[in-house]
Every structure is written in C-alpha cells, then in structure tokens.
Amino acid sequence: MKIAVCVKQVPTREWQPRLTDDRTWIREADASFEMNEPDAYALEEALRLREKHGGEVVVCSAGPARVQQVIREALARGADRGVHVDGAALASADGFTVAAALAAAMRDEAFDLVLTGLQSDDHGHAQTGVALAELLGIPHSTIIMDVEVGEGRVRVKRELEGGWFQWVSMPTPALLTIQSGINQLRYATLKGIMAAKKKEIRSVAPPGVEPGLKILALSLPSKSKQTALIAGTPAEAAAELVRRLRDEARAL
C-alpha cells in the first residue's frame, strides 16, 4: 500500500504572534515552527497502516525551505521519503492554492491512500484535504476516527455531532482527513533521526495557480474587560446575573 501524508509547518502555539508592517501576515523571522498537530496524527495512522499491511509512507508538504524541517521530523518518525513543493508564497496561501500545489506534485505518484490532518492550527479552515481530493479526482471522507483497509476499499468511522458516529465504505484510492486523538503519537528515536538524514526528499516547483483568497489585513485579538453593577434585592440581582450568564455570556 502506497500512502501519502500531507503535513504542514505551523507556528508553535506558545509563540505570541507579531504582524508584518503591512499587517498581511506574521513576522516569520520572529516565529518558531512545529509540525501541525492534526497532521501528526495522520502520520501516525499512516505508519500503523504500513506496519499492518506493508507498503510505503510518503510525506508531502508545501511551503518555503524551512518546511523541510517537518519533513525530516516525519522521516525520523518512520516515513520512507518526502516530497517538498518549494514555494515561499505557499506559507500564507489559502487552502485551495496549497491543495493545487500538492496535487500537481502527487498526481503521478498514484497513491492508494492520502491522509491529512482535519485542519491546520494556524488557518483552521479544514479545506485543504477536501480540495485536494477533488483535484486528484478521488473520493474523500472527513473527521476520521478509525480506518479499516480491505482489498480495493477502505472502511472508516466518522465523528458526527452530539456523540454520534458514522461508518462509511469507499473504493481506493481515497483521501481521509484524520481527527486528532485517533491514536497515540510516537516520537523520533535517535536511530530514526540518523536514518532520516539519508532518506530522499524530492523538491518540486509549485504550479502557477492564481490564489483564490487574498489577505487584506490581520489584527491581533484585543483584550478588554467591563464591570457591571446589578441593582435590586439579592434575589433580583441573582436572577439577573443568571439571565446574563445564560443569555449574554452563554456560560450556562
């Protein structure tokens, strides 16, 4: 089985965002980066499927040269080789543009299964995976909690709202967006880190795709607080407080 895993490099959650002078993106020179957490679960699921069914795991990522850091990390965890779509503009690109860049690099590989994280920790649009499936012309399913691979088919468990789940069967090749927490993540060993240095990373140029989304301006969340005095008797004040917490703050 030939499995592709799409991973993204995102700013670390502890980093406090700083904007560029034109306020259209973050100051990447000041940022620290890591592997997108949902993609890490997709990688782990791919490695487990390879251990069970055999085959190859190929890590695919799009972005500037720094993206090779997360590709090497994925190789150190056990992936077989990497594909890097090298383009600085892809760091802030919308989901469709990134999907188009990945599709161009992946189309000739003829993968049996493509796994992505449910969404990225920076943009959080959850659109790259489904757009990639459409561009590759393969079926897809989202928010996956379990994967069962059969002969020419895959059966998956989807998480729905309200604690409900849905089982879906589809032919392969197929694309799945993996929910965080589906498995227990492994970490790179010293042996894996050393082996990753010898594994192939194929670098390709991005296609000339016109971005479908343009960022006009970004702003950091503003922090503020407001004090309100509730008049009336203790019983009336308590009833009004409960109403505000329920209807205005949505805390109850």
In the 3-class helix/strand/coil scheme, how is 79-145 assigned residue by residue? CCEEEEEECHHHHHCCHHHHHHHHHHHHHHHCCCEEEEECCCCCCCCCCHHHHHHHHHCCCEEEEEE
Which residues are within 8 A (CB) of 177 and not within 5 positions of it... i.e. 6 or more apart?
A: 42, 115, 116, 117, 118, 119, 126, 129, 130, 140, 141, 142, 143, 144
Domain check: are 41 and 81 in the same one? yes
Residue-wise pLDDT for 85-116, tens only, equals: 999 889 888 999 999 999 999 999 999 999 99
User: What are the C-alpha distances in Å from 32 to residues 29, 60, 146, 151?
Assistant: 8, 21, 32, 43
Domain check: are 198 and 237 in the same one? no
The pair phi, psi for residue 94, each rounded to 5°, is -75, 170
Q: Is 237 inside a domain boundary?
A: yes
Q: Please state, as a whole number, how many other Cβ atoms lie within 10 Å of the Cβ of residue 112.
A: 19
Residue-wise pLDDT for 173-220, tens only, equals: 999 999 999 999 998 999 999 999 999 999 999 988 778 788 888 888
Q: Is 210 inside a domain boundary?
A: no
Domain check: are 167 and 79 in the same one? yes
Going through 160-244 in order, the beta strands assigned E by DSSP cover 165-171, 174-178, 201-204
39 and 117 in contact (C-beta within 8 Å)? yes
Overall domain count for the chain: 2
Domain check: are 243 and 126 in the same one? no
Domain check: are 42 and 132 in the same one? yes
Q: Is 209 inside a domain boundary?
A: no
pLDDT of residue 50: 97
> Residue 168's domain is classified under what CATH number?
3.40.50.620
Domain check: are 56 and 16 in the same one? yes
Domain check: are 155 and 240 in the same one? no
Is residue 252 pLDDT above 80, yes or no?
no
Domain check: are 248 and 162 in the same one? no
Q: Is 156 inside a domain boundary?
A: yes
Q: Is 15 inside a domain boundary?
A: yes
Q: Is 211 inside a domain boundary?
A: no
Pseudo-torsion of CA 92, 96, 183, 83, nearest 10°?
-80
pLDDT of residue 238: 93
pLDDT of residue 224: 80
Alpha-carbon span 66 to 71, nearest angstrom? 10
Residue-wise pLDDT for 68-77, tens only, equals: 999 999 999 9
Sign of CA dihedral 193, 194, 198, 203: positive
pLDDT of residue 127: 93
Domain check: are 42 and 141 in the same one? yes
pLDDT of residue 25: 85
Domain check: are 70 and 136 in the same one? yes
Domain hosting residue 252, numbered range = 226-252
Q: Is 216 inside a domain boundary?
A: no
Q: Chain-wide mean pLDDT for the chain?
A: 93
pLDDT of residue 68: 96
Q: Is 108 inside a domain boundary?
A: yes
Domain check: are 199 and 230 in the same one? no
pTM of the model: 0.84
| Structure token pair of residue 169 | 């069967």
pLDDT of residue 195: 95
Q: Residue 35's pLDDT band (boundaries 50, 70, 90)? A: very high
User: What are the C-alpha distances in Å from 232 to residues 238, 240, 248?
Assistant: 9, 9, 19
Domain check: are 155 and 249 in the same one? no
